[in-house]
């Protein structure tokens, strides 16, 4: 029996889905959303807040503020409510309505940026709002998930070791790239303790994280409008870029088999399948990290009206589960350095 007194105290870290029966590829999916925050972001949210407490940055009258496209905002809303802090989440118009309502139900104040900045897009506008807010009142404490070292350290200390406990013969790990906290934490751990494991980053087409042109992105989560401050490409072996339409097809394919996952997970699985398709019949042990589940996407990627509005029929067709996928984005190889 599991008994907890704080919501962030529970996180099941050893649930995997074998995707071979669905996609006929040797791929295990690590489900990171089996906690009360519903996503992988519970780990960095908890660690960043508790580190700020240990360092004396937070006081009883502090107001937490953070930029988030959704999942970290939910996790911080939960942690803040549990610890008695006020929390302001600064997001933008791509954030799912269900996610906003969930944050508000947990007591958070949600500020939605509707106009992108001229040079930094929506993310730049969100960060500008936070900086102005902190300058206006010293009660505001910005955790800054983009540069906070506790972000990647939470995965170095927890996520990566838990994977290697279950898969000691791991060959390849697929990780989505958002702030790159999960990616960098896992990659740094593997480089130090299991350097033979290849790390493949999965990014969304339209993201500027790895130097590609900034473009339209409708699915919150993976990708950024700027280069992530904590990204170090020397730890990454390959990068796969995934079109959002392909990620949505993957989500619907999984849902047709009873697995309702979120857009970030669909992107990671799509990229992993593409990478594996280029390996022929190699007998590899591979794991992909699933950041989220699909309930918060019921109004978007699982809503046909939303799909009709944002993705024309020539991209998805009337049934994204059945229509053959378009070619994947080109894989970019990153040379590992010592």
Domain co-membership, 169 together with 312: yes
The answer on 52 and 27 residing in a single domain is no
199 and 174 together in one domain: yes
Nearest residue to 172 via CA among 261, 266, 274, 293: 274
Give pLDDT, residue 217: 87
Whether residue 109 is found in the same domain as residue 225: no
Given this model, what pLDDT does residue 323 score?
Answer: 46
- Domain assignment of residue 59, given as a range: 42-142
The Cα-based distances of 205 to 86, 160, 211, 243, 301 in angstroms read 35, 26, 11, 5, 17
Q: Is residue 147 part of a domain?
A: no
Q: In sequence order, what are the residues at sequence separation of 6 or more whose Cβ sits closer than 8 angstroms to the Cβ of residue 116?
A: 92, 122, 124, 125
Model confidence, pTM? 0.92
- Of 85, 115, 142, the last residue of a domain is 142
In a domain, 76, yes or no: yes
Q: Do 223 and 295 fall into the same domain?
A: yes
Answer yes or no: do 57 and 92 share one domain: yes
Give yes or no: residues 124 and 193 share one domain: no
Question: Among residues 79, 113, 142, which one ends one of the domains?
Answer: 142
> Does residue 178 contact residue 94 with C-beta atoms inside 8 Å?
no
Query: 76 with 201, same domain?
Result: no
**Same structural domain, 197 and 118:** no
pLDDT along the chain (338 residues), means of 10: 92 95 95 94 97 95 94 96 97 88 96 82 88 94 95 97 97 96 98 97 94 86 88 96 94 96 96 92 91 93 91 61 46 50
Query: At CA 78, angle to CA 290 and CA 265, rounded to 5?
Result: 10
> How many structural domains is the chain composed of?
2
Q: Say if residue 69 is in the same domain as residue 106.
A: yes
Specify whether 204 is located in the same domain as 317: yes
Instruction: Confirm whether 311 is domain-assigned.
Output: yes
What does the pLDDT read at residue 319? Answer: 52
Is residue 37 assigned to a domain? Answer: no
Residue pair 202/196 in contact by the 8 Å Cβ criterion: no
Predicted confidence at residue 314, as pLDDT, reads 53
């Amino acid at each position: 029996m599991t008994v907890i007194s704080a919501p962030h105290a529970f996180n099941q870290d050893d649930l995997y889905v074998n995707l071979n029966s669905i996609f006929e590829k040797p791929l295990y999916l690590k489900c990171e959303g089996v906690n009360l925050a519903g996503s992988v972001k519970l780990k960095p949210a908890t660690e960043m807040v508790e580190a700020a407490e240990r360092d004396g940055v937070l006081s009883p009258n502090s107001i937490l503020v953070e930029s988030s496209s959704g999942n970290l905002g939910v996790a911080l809303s939960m942690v803040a409510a549990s610890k008695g802090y006020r929390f302001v989440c600064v997001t933008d118009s791509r954030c799912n309505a269900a996610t906003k309502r969930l944050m508000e139900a947990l007591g958070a104040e949600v500020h939605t940026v509707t106009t992108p900045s001229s040079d930094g897009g929506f993310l730049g506008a969100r960060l500008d709002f936070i900086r102005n807010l902190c300058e206006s009142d010293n009660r505001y404490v910005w955790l800054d998930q983009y540069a906070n070292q506790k972000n990647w350290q939470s995965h170095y200390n927890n996520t990566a070791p838990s994977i290697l406990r279950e898969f000691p013969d791991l060959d390849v790990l697929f990780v989505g790239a958002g702030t790159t906290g999960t990616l960098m934490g896992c990659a740094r751990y593997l480089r130090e303790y299991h350097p033979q494991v290849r790390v493949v980053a999965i990014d969304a087409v339209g993201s500027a994280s790895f130097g590609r042109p900034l473009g339209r992105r409708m699915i919150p989560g993976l990708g950024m409008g700027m280069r992530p401050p904590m990204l170090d490409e020397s730890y990454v072996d390959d990068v796969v870029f995934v079109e959002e339409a392909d990620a949505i097809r993957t989500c619907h394919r999984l849902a047709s088999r009873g697995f309702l996952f979120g857009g970030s997970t669909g992107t990671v699985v799509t990229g992993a399948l593409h990478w594996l398709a280029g390996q022929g019949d190699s007998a590899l042990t591979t794991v992909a990290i699933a950041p989220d589940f699909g309930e918060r996407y019921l109004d978007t990627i699982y809503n046909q009206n939303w799909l009709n509005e944002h993705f024309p029929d020539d991209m998805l067709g009337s049934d994204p589960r059945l229509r053959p996928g378009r070619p994947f984005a080109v894989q970019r190889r990153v040379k590992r350095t010592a």
